[in-house]
């Protein structure tokens, strides 16, 4: 995995948290920032628990969607002057009850060059980001796929 330079990683972290106040409200944190891969954590908080004492499904969804969005910022940040990234759809599966901190690891599923070429050709590319949700002991508690598009700006 190619590591993102420090300046770009800081742009991703600060830019994402500035643009997504709800992620800040939940206390979502960055753990790792690499090209095509982001790891974020949702710290355990009783304020975010569901009726069985784990993180609420909505909080887990927000964590996964946030990790997928941070990949978009890091991978396509240089295209934000000519396109708007938008989530098109998302699907989440809850496999096991999560207890404690939850981590989301998101990975881009298509090469950047392919997506940019589609945008350059006048298209509106759609592409998926896969997310794995797990507890600190490595137990996979959920999985998610978020489909994104880069909507070209009107000229």
Q: How far is CA 40 from CA 9, 30, 103, 135, in A?
A: 13, 4, 6, 12
pLDDT for residue 34: 87
pLDDT of 155 over the 80 cut: no
**pLDDT one-digit tens code per residue, 48-91:** 999 998 899 999 999 999 999 999 988 998 999 999 999 999 99
- Are 98 and 138 in contact by the 8 Å Cβ rule? The answer is no
> What does pLDDT average to over the chain?
92
Lowest-confidence pick of 14-18, 93-97, 126-130: 14-18
Task: Say what percent of the chain tops pLDDT 90.
Answer: 76
Concatenated DSSP letters for 22-81?
HHHHHT-EEEEEETTEEEEEE---GGGB-TTSSB-HHHHHHHHHHHHHHHHHHHHGGGTT
**Residue range 9-13: mean pLDDT, rounded:** 84
pTM across the whole model: 0.92
Q: If we measure between CA atoms, which residue out of 95, 81, 87, 84 comes closest to residue 67?
A: 87
pLDDT-derived band at 116 (thresholds 50, 70, 90) equals very high
pLDDT-derived band at 103 (thresholds 50, 70, 90) equals very high
Phi, psi of 25 (to 5 degrees): -60, -40
pLDDT for residue 145: 98
Report d(CA 154, CA 42) in Å as an integer: 36
Structure tokens at 42: 């949702």
- Does 22 or 92 have the greater pLDDT score? 92
Which range of 22-31, 69-78, 130-139 scores highest in mean pLDDT? It is 130-139
pLDDT for residue 1: 54
**What architecture is the 6-152 domain classified under in CATH?**
Roll (3.10)
pLDDT for residue 41: 97
User: Which element (helix H / strand E) includes 104?
Assistant: strand 102-108
């Amino acid at each position: 995995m190619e590591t993102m330079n420090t300046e770009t990683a800081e742009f991703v972290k600060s830019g994402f948290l500035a643009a997504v106040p709800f992620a800040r409200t939940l206390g979502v944190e960055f753990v790792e920032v690499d090209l095509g891969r982001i790891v974020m954590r949702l710290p355990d908080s009783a304020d975010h628990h569901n009726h069985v004492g784990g993180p609420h499904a909505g909080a887990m969804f927000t964590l996964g969607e946030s990790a997928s969005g941070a990949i978009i910022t890091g991978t396509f940040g240089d295209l934000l002057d000519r396109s708007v990234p938008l989530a098109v759809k998302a699907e989440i599966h809850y496999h096991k009850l999560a207890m404690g901190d939850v981590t989301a690891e998101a990975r881009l599923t298509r090469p950047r060059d392919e997506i940019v070429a589609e945008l350059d050709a006048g298209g509106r590319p759609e592409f998926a980001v896969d997310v794995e949700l797990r507890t600190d002991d490595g137990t996979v508690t959920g999985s998610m796929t978020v489909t994104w598009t880069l909507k070209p700006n009107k000229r």
